[in-house]
Amino acid sequence: MRRVRLSGATSVRDLASQLGVSPSTIRRDLEVLDRDGTLRRVRGGALAGADADDDRPFAEVAAVDEQDKEAVAVRAAQLVADGEVLLLDIGTTTMRLARRLRGRRVTVVTSSLAVLDALRSDSAVELLLLGGMVRRTYHSLVGVLTEAALSQVVADRVFLGASGVRPDGQLVDTTLAEVPLKRAMIAAAEQVVLLVDRHKFPGTGALRVCGPEDIDLIVTNEGADETTLRACAAAGSQVLLT
């Protein structure tokens, strides 16, 4: 259920790969969960149930694969130099990165309320919050106001999150409202750094954010799918493993 809620919609194949079991096992489990009303079984996969729109998902996602996410955040923080202007995307890994930036002389621009919470009391970090409509489930700001604000931003680098990376290196997401913001962040930054734990290789998502050629650097964990990483590297992305 954590995996389905994380992605919103996912396939039997992807769940089987992520959880290390057979597709037939996943199909049986999805049928049980569908009967219970926990999720909605669809052809080839499942959709999160109606309760996926409440306040639980962010907390649940934050508790998944914590050690892997923390390792990615620690390595990403080491890339940052004092004086830089940083764009931080939404997500639980970028939230962890924000915590690692406390006390640093940097400027952080973000649409993430979780990043705001992590840095709001830190006098060293200059914090710029993008405007927009509050999306409570994902602790984020979205909409035309957010996109308009991003058009004024020039950043040294963006730390980007995503629902997953497809085997061909395509970056995908499940949230329609977030995809244009991710694209605007990519356009606003000199360097694009993707922060994703190893379980996002390969990952799920019906919406294309960008191709691997748009990502300069990927920070992830040892154990990420090698075929997917090779596709990213072949397109020019540098890969850092923690």
The predicted-structure confidence for 157-191, as pLDDT tens digits, reads as follows: 999 999 899 999 999 988 888 999 999 999 999 99
Confidence at residue 59, expressed as pLDDT on a 0 to 100 scale: 65
List of the chain residues with pLDDT < 70: 5-9, 36-38, 48-63
What are 109-144's pLDDT values in tens digits?
999 999 999 999 999 999 999 999 998 888 999 999
The confidence score (pLDDT) of residue 207 equals 87
Phi, psi of 236 (to 5 degrees): 110, 0
**pLDDT confidence of residue 24:** 93
pLDDT at 60: 62
pLDDT score of 14:
84
Phi-psi region of 110 (alpha: psi -120 to 50; beta: other; left: phi over 0): beta
Between CA 7 and CA 204 the distance in angstroms is 6
Q: What is the pTM of this model?
A: 0.77
Return the pLDDT at 8: 63
Alpha carbon 206 to its chain centroid, in Å, reads 14
Structural domains for the chain: 2-53 (1.10.10.10), 61-241 (3.40.50.10470)
How much is the pLDDT for 61?
66
**3-class DSSP state for residue 166?**
coil
H helices within the chain, ranges in order? 2-7, 12-19, 23-36, 56-62, 66-77, 92-100, 113-119, 144-150, 179-188, 226-234
Q: What is the pLDDT of residue 123?
A: 95
